[in-house]
Amino acid sequence: MLLNGIAAVLFDLDDTLIDSVRGKSIAEKIIADILASYIHNLGIAVDKEILLCELLLIDQMMNRRRLYDRSIWWQSLVGRLNLKVALPRHLVIEMTKAYWSYFGTYSLPFPDTAITLDSLLMRGYRLGMVTDTDGTPGVKMHRISQLSFKRAFSTIVIAGEDTVKTKPSVFPFKLAASRLGLSCAECVFVGDKPFTDIRGAKKAGMKSILIRRGIWESEEQPDFTVSSLSELCRFL
Ligand SMILES: [Mg+2]
């Protein structure tokens, strides 16, 4: 019991509660297929492997810049390939729809997600989620509505839709706490990205726990670091 005075545990979604690695990889391959075939039909040769590598770089870059609207990603991808091609609006919409459909279908909860959430509820904690918009309004909540553990949450804030700004703005964190009728000091936030989850939670006055899922360079220091959700029971 290292965290005292905590009444609610708030979570990030992607790569914290659900494993997005497979979903993202399959979604990106679909995008590469759609785009390669469109460009090929224009009579331009394109290497699908290079296209996929560039897409991975764009993913890193856009996440760092917190630009989540995939429609912007696809045109940037064409630009990085040095192609003078303007993607038609209907294709951009179709690509974004396909991306999120595959992303959602193949991004499953981690093996310890449901059991950890149940265990926290049984200990009397209230649960909340603070997750950034997917860039297209409604997409993130649609993805969440398909997750079996959604019912465990007393409140879900989609930053960038329920609030103007995304994480690390303090507003989505403060909104989640106020919806629970709690102060930020009574909440602990669990997330995988130091520069959005940990930075925002700390600025808002919450305790913070970093879950190590990948490598994100950052100087932001959480109160604690774990490598799995089940480890949370060490602190709560
Ligand atoms: Mg995340």
Q: How far is the CA of 18 from the centre of ligand 1 (A)?
A: 9
Confidence of residue 1 (pLDDT cuts 50, 70, 90): low
Q: Mean pLDDT, to the nearest integer, of 124-132?
A: 98
Predicted local distance difference test score (pLDDT) of residue 66: 84
Q: Mean pLDDT, to the nearest integer, of 36-40?
A: 94
Tell me the pLDDT tens digit for each residue of 217-230.
Answer: 778 899 999 999 99
What is the phi/psi pair of residue 26, to 5°?
-70, -40
CATH of the structural domain 8-17+110-234, one choice from 3.40.718.10, 3.40.50.800, 3.40.50.1000, 3.40.190.10: 3.40.50.1000
Confidence of residue 40 (pLDDT cuts 50, 70, 90): very high
Tell me the pLDDT tens digit for each residue of 81-112.
Answer: 988 899 999 999 999 999 999 999 999 999 99
Predicted local distance difference test score (pLDDT) of residue 84: 87
Tell me the pLDDT tens digit for each residue of 52-67.
Answer: 999 999 998 998 888 8
Confidence of residue 206 (pLDDT cuts 50, 70, 90): very high
For residue 124, pLDDT over 70 is answered with yes
For residue 129, pLDDT over 90 is answered with yes
Q: Mean pLDDT, to the nearest integer, of 188-214?
A: 96
Q: How far is the CA of 38 from the centre of ligand 1 (A)?
A: 31
Predicted local distance difference test score (pLDDT) of residue 104: 94
Q: How far is the CA of 78 from the centre of ligand 1 (A)?
A: 26
Q: How far is the CA of 229 from the centre of ligand 1 (A)?
A: 13
Q: How far is the CA of 234 from the centre of ligand 1 (A)?
A: 21
Q: How far is the CA of 45 from the centre of ligand 1 (A)?
A: 36
